[in-house]
């Protein structure tokens, strides 16, 4: 196994095929037979549950309360917010009937059970939540209103890719209403920081936070901010967005209140979300040719113990030894939580089981045989440094108590190293020395995984921006965002030669 890797395809050979292979070999998800919808299997869903749990804590700590709003939105709600609907892809799932019936022995949609008004399966909930806000809001004393929901949403997609673009996906959507622009912008940026810290913390995924250009704004938003992560093929993944909606939605949905002077005002609203797409980001940030590597903070099991069972009476003593180690481990904490430790008792040989956990990306694997037990030892494999300098699988034997003692620090270290390694790659793969379109073209066509390019621009709007977007589109490039606090390095706009006001990142993107 020294030079051959566990996956049938490498990242260099075919990144897209490698991505699918990781998902399959790590048992993360699978096609469901329902177009565009995937099944999240326990290991994949377990990662999402960890993300959800940790992010939910941050959302609550920052003063938001969870609610639940309806799956269905009457068609007329969308008509209210013209700009929102205009910009939004109209590919949505529409419920038109509410009953099935048997006809000639076959199950069919009952034509008599047609709904008076079609119901749209929510693609996002601004319209229905805004309508609730308009009922809840009377006076400035009711502000801010800060809610969040964890839910499934549907956007009909023609070309789907698991975790990255599926017709149904899971997400959280935060919605808030404020007295004035200052408060609403502060919220929008607080959330942007929360997302950045969450990506760079638990996900160990470095990101660039910044404002999206006008053409990439959420339909109806005044400003859209994103965190952008770089995948190992150099493409950008928009991993979370935070929108300042101004008073646009408030006008459309009559979200108004009596201010401190007794005057009626429209509220300033925000919305923000991250989705199961983050799991795709984790795969393409941390995976290697042996499968996934899951950052310890979001690993459903941080340490997996694989006993070398032989279906003999000695198995019992071996399992008891493993149980003793597990008991000691779950008594310890890392990242402020008890360690998560699994003993894999499934029938089967230890070798394939070990490789199964390598492909799944459990941070630490302990292989324990009769000899280890006799010597009070464990044999440890670290998923983040699988091979030694000789190219062979690196495992390390040590006394079990010694392992237990160092396990929390080890997990902490693995988390940090995973972030640093990804951060070094991100930093190395952003060029800022490209000076014209020709150079841009040469760069992106001359490399298989070309990374990103930072350029200075004049922040054009309207038609001037459209022209830039067209130029980039010809190179399959998009404008990702303007990194926070980035000043232009030069005085002239890359595109128009006019005065530059800020930097923007250009990249191919998912």
Binding site for Zn ion (CB under 5 A): 458, 460, 493, 495-496, 498
* Nearest distance from C-beta of residue 61 to a copy of itself, angstroms: 13
Residue pair 401/327 in contact by the 8 Å Cβ criterion: no
Q: CB-wise, 253 or 478, nearer to a copy of itself?
A: 253
- Indicate the residue among 4 and 141 with the shorter CB distance to a copy of itself: 141
State the minimum distance, in angstroms, from the CB of residue 456 to Zn ion.
9
CA-closest candidate to residue 414, choices 454, 361, 373: 361
- 347 touches which of Zn ion, a copy of itself, none (CB within 5 to 8 A by kind)? a copy of itself
Q: Min. distance of Cβ 472 from Zn ion in angstroms? A: 13
Choice between 95 and 474, CB closer to a copy of itself: 95
Q: What gap in Å lies between CA 377 and CA 354, rounded to an integer?
A: 17
Q: Are 481 and 504 in contact (CB under 8 A)?
A: yes
Beta carbons within 8 Å of 8's beta carbon, 6+ residues apart: 21
The Cα 6–Cα 21 span in angstroms is 10
Please state, in angstroms and rounded to a whole number, the distance separating the CA atoms of residues 509 and 318.
50
Which of Zn ion, a copy of itself, none does residue 39 bind to, with CB < 5 to 8 Å depending on kind?
A: a copy of itself
418 makes contact, choosing from Zn ion, a copy of itself, none, with CB < 5 to 8 Å by partner type, with none
From Zn ion, a copy of itself, none, interface partner of 384 (C-beta below 5 to 8 A by class): none
393 binds, among Zn ion, a copy of itself, none (CB under 5 to 8 A by kind): none
Q: Taking the CA atoms of 385, 391, 392 and 396 in sequence, report the sign of the dihedral they define.
A: negative
Quote the crossing angle between the two packed helices 15-25 and 277-286, to the nearest 10°. 110
Nearer to Zn ion, 48 or 457 (CB): 457
- Residue 141 CB, nearest distance to a copy of itself (Å)? 5
User: What burial letters (b/e) apply to 201-216, b meaning 16+ CB within 10 Å?
Assistant: bbbbbbbbbbbbbbeb
* Rounded least distance, CB 41 to a copy of itself, Å: 6
- Of the pair 142, 432, the CB lying nearest a copy of itself is at 142
From the list a copy of itself, Zn ion, none, partner contacted by residue 69 (C-beta under 5 to 8 A by kind) = a copy of itself
493: partner contacted, choices a copy of itself, Zn ion, none (Cβ within 5-8 A by kind) = Zn ion
- Smallest distance from the beta carbon of 490 to Zn ion, in angstroms? 12
Q: Which residue ranges make up the site for a copy of itself (CB under 8 A)?
A: 30, 32-34, 37-42, 45-46, 48-49, 65-75, 78-79, 85, 90-101, 106-110, 118-121, 128, 131-132, 135, 141, 147, 151-152, 154, 156, 168, 170, 346-348
Closer to Zn ion by Cβ: residue 244 or 457: 457
Give the closest residue to 425 by CA, choosing from 241, 229, 261: 229
Closest distance between a copy of itself and the C-beta of residue 349, in Å? 12
- Residue 264 interacts, among a copy of itself, Zn ion, none and using kind-specific CB cut-offs from 5 to 8 Å, with none
Tell me whether residue 71 or residue 501 sits nearer to Zn ion (CB atom): 501
Residue 318 contact partner, candidates Zn ion, a copy of itself, none, CB within 5 to 8 A by sort of partner:
none
Q: Which helix (H) or strand (E) holds 100?
A: strand 100-103
Do residues 250 and 84 make contact, with C-beta atoms less than 8 angstroms apart?
A: no
Task: Match 């670290």 to its residue by tokens.
Answer: 382
The answer to whether 146 and 63 are in contact (CB under 8 A) is yes
Structure tokens at 437: 């379109």
CB 211 within 8 A of CB 482: yes
Shortest distance, position 154 Cβ to a copy of itself, whole Å: 7
Closer to Zn ion by Cβ: residue 174 or 213:
213
Residue 396: Cβ within 10 Å count: 11
First to last CA, the chain: 33
Helix (H) or strand (E) holding 303: strand 303-307
Rounded to whole angstroms, the Cα distance separating 470 from 28 reads 37
Residue 90 or 371: the one with the smaller Cβ distance to a copy of itself is: 90
CB of 286 to a copy of itself, least distance (A): 22
């Amino acid at each position: 196994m020294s030079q051959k890797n566990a996956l049938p395809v490498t990242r260099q050979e075919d990144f897209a095929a490698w991505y699918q292979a990781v998902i399959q070999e790590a048992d993360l998800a699978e096609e469901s037979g329902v177009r565009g919808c995937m099944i999240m299997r326990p290991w994949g869903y377990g990662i999402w549950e960890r993300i959800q749990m940790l992010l939910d804590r941050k959302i609550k700590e920052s003063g938001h309360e969870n609610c639940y709003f309806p799956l269905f939105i009457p068609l007329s709600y969308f008509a209210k917010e013209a700009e929102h609907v205009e910009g939004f892809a109209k590919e949505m799932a529409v419920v038109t009937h509410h009953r099935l019936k048997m006809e000639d022995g076959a199950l069919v949609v009952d034509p008599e059970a047609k709904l008076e008004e079609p119901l749209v399966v929510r693609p996002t909930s601004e319209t229905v939540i805004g309508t609730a806000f308009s009922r809840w809001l009377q006076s400035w004393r009711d502000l801010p209103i800060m809610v969040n929901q964890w839910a499934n949403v549907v956007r009909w997609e023609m070309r789907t890719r698991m975790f990255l673009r599926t017709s149904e996906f899971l997400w959280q959507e935060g919605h808030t209403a404020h007295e004035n622009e200052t408060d609403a912008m502060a919220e929008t940026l607080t959330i942007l920081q929360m997302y950045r810290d969450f990506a760079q913390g638990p996900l160990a995924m470095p990101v660039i936070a910044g404002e999206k250009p006008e053409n990439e704004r959420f339909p109806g938003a005044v400003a859209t901010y994103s965190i952008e992560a770089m995948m190992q093929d150099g493409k950008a993944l928009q991993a979370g967005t935070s929108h300042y909606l101004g008073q646009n939605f408030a006008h459309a949905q009559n979200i108004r209140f009596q201010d401190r002077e007794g005057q009626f005002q429209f509220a300033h609203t925000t919305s923000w979300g991250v989705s199961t797409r983050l799991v795709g980001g984790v795969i393409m940030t941390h995976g290697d040719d042996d499968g996934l590597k899951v950052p310890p903070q979001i690993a459903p099991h941080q340490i997996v113990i694989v006993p070398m069972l032989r279906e003999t009476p000695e198995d019992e003593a071996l399992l008891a030894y493993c149980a003793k180690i597990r008991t000691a481990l779950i008594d310890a904490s890392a990242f402020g939580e008890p360690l998560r430790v699994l003993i894999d008792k499934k029938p089967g040989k230890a070798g394939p089981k070990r490789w199964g956990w390598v492909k799944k990306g459990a941070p630490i694997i302990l292989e324990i045989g009769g000899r280890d037990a006799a010597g009070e030892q464990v044999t440890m494999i670290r998923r983040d440094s699988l091979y030694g300098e000789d190219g062979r699988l690196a495992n390390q034997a040590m006394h079990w108590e010694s392992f237990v003692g160092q396990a929390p620090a080890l997990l902490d270290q693995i988390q940090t190293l995973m972030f640093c390694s990804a951060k070094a790659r991100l930093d190395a793969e952003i060029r800022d020395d490209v000076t014209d379109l020709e150079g841009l073209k040469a760069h992106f066509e001359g490399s298989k995984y070309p990374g990103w390019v930072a350029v200075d621009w004049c922040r054009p709007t309207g038609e001037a921006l459209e022209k830039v977007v067209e130029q980039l589109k010809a190179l399959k490039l998009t404008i990702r965002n303007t990194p926070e606090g980035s000043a232009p390095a030069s005085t002239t706009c890359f595109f128009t030669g006019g005065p530059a006001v800020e930097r923007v990142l250009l990249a191919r993107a998912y």
